[in-house]
Amino acid sequence: MRQCAARRTRCARSRSGDVSTPRIVLGRKGVLHLNHGHPWIREAHLEQVEAEDGEVVQLEAPAGSARGAAVYGARSRLPVRVISHEPGFEVAGDGWWQQRLDASVARRAAVTDEACRWVHAEADGLPGLVVDRYGPVAVIQAGCAWADRVAGAVAQRLLDRHGLSGVLARHDGAFRKPEGLEQGVSVLAGEVPETLELTLGGLRRTLDVWRGQKTGAYLDQRENHIWAARVLPAGRALDAFSHEGGFALAMAQAGSSVLALDGSAPALQRLEQNAASNGLAERIEARRANVFDELRALPAGSFDAVALDPPALAKRRADTDRATRAYRDLNLRALRLLRPGGRLVTCSCSHHISREVFRRVLGQAAASAGLDVVLLEERGGASCHPRLITFPESEYLKVVLLELRA
């Protein structure tokens, strides 16, 4: 076996006439990661690479024994993404991902909404690959070199098997940069209309999959919108960081009069359009504002219900302390807005903030505000966003229901 500390150039296999199976030899720490079931292995934990960017590879322990399979990204900080722990896993051909793609769609068969996540990357065994279904259209995000390589074939298979009219690639997100992948939005198969009209949570929604945030909607909150409307008291409600009004529309439908705040003008425009098409325009005021400032300005004790769903405040591990302070401050201010007996649905979608840390932050917020607060329920993302049990990063969305004791 060739010994080699650095990967890529020195160890990359020659492609000319070389038909050997792509392989990566892990270092001792790489094997430890594999044994713990985490699907990502860093560059520092690889001993030898004989593979090209985007290939499916066999994994080997330093002693040479087969340890499973992975996909390889030559330009990524996370070059190895494990797809199987089976020593005999067949890496050649497309059969494995086709079977997993079909199984992922079948796993969501019980979803009644017209939109949901069809493929949730590592949690569905398809590293870096996200597919969101919006009625007749699917939107793909490829977040690693392998996913980028198969995106066109995935699109064609979805089109052929599920009667879609088109498949769009939303490759305009920051998630592509650390993988060394190009940015852009393009149609991968069929045709994709400018806007789509769908029913989500029993409400008519107009969605823009070309330009909207994420792939067009926050599908991870799909079930939480409906749940929140059920558990929050009707009355005067606030949807802080409303986006296109997932929580606001559901609360208004349940009888509340809602103030929706967001910094994005297109999102608020869409919210107003959706409110009108559901006959809820009278019950929702959409206001463009910086929520951090606005929560300070609103009068204390003036809401029966608040939904607080900020963007990920800790995008990198280094942001954790600053983000923890920001979550504490936001939640303190949101709790002060509640009337006695009022309820807050509060969310964190930062995967660097664990459920335990978020709960502790909420406790600190309540204590700093001098308020008696009861935790009633904890939830995660919608059921179409499964979590890999050995991969804490896949449990990024925390949703907590709090009540201000009367």
Does residue 291 bind ligand SAM (CB under 6 A)? yes
Does residue 134 bind ligand SAM (CB under 6 A)? no
177 vs 287, beta carbon nearer ligand SAM = 287
Do the Cβ atoms of 203 and 170 come closer than 8 Å? Answer: no
To ligand SAM, the closest distance from the beta carbon of 320 in angstroms equals 18
Residue from 11, 116, 349, 384 carrying the catalytic annotation: 349
Name the helix (H) or strand (E) containing 97: helix 95-107
Residue 245: left if φ>0, alpha if ψ -120 to 50, beta else—which one? Answer: left
Do the Cβ atoms of 135 and 114 come closer than 8 Å? Answer: yes
| Residue span binding ligand SAM (CB under 6 A) among the ranges 125-133, 153-161, 238-246, 249-257 | 238-246
193 vs 311, beta carbon nearer ligand SAM = 311
To ligand SAM, the closest distance from the beta carbon of 212 in angstroms equals 10
Nearest to 34 by CA among 62, 54, 7, 14: 62
Which residues, numbered 195-224, are part of the site for ligand SAM (CB under 6 A)? 213, 218, 221
To ligand SAM, the closest distance from the beta carbon of 266 in angstroms equals 9
| Residue span binding ligand SAM (CB under 6 A) among the ranges 28-36, 129-137, 197-205, 284-292 | 284-292
Give Rg (Cα) of the chain. Answer: 23
Complete edge-to-edge strand list for the sheet that includes strand 398-404: 284-288, 257-262, 236-240, 303-308, 338-348, 398-404, 373-379
Ramachandran angles phi, psi of 240, nearest 5°: -95, 130
Binding mask 242-261 for ligand SAM (x = CB under 6 A): xx--xx--------------
324 vs 350, beta carbon nearer ligand SAM = 350
Helix axes 320-336, 355-369, angle to 10 degrees: 50
Does residue 329 bind ligand SAM (CB under 6 A)? no
| Residue span binding ligand SAM (CB under 6 A) among the ranges 4-12, 75-83, 156-164, 309-317 | 309-317
162 vs 214, beta carbon nearer ligand SAM = 214
User: How many helices (H) and strands (E) in the chain?
Assistant: 9, 20
Compute the half-sphere exposure of residue 140: CA atoms within 13 Å on the CB side of its CA.
29
- Which residue carries 């609103």 as its tokens? 298
Nearest to 108 by CA among 187, 222, 217, 193: 222
| Residue span binding ligand SAM (CB under 6 A) among the ranges 96-104, 186-194, 287-295, 365-373 | 287-295
Is 349 a residue of the active site?
yes
Active site residue ranges: 349
Contact positions vs ligand SAM (CB under 6 A): 213, 218, 221, 241-243, 246-247, 262-264, 267, 290-292, 309-311, 349
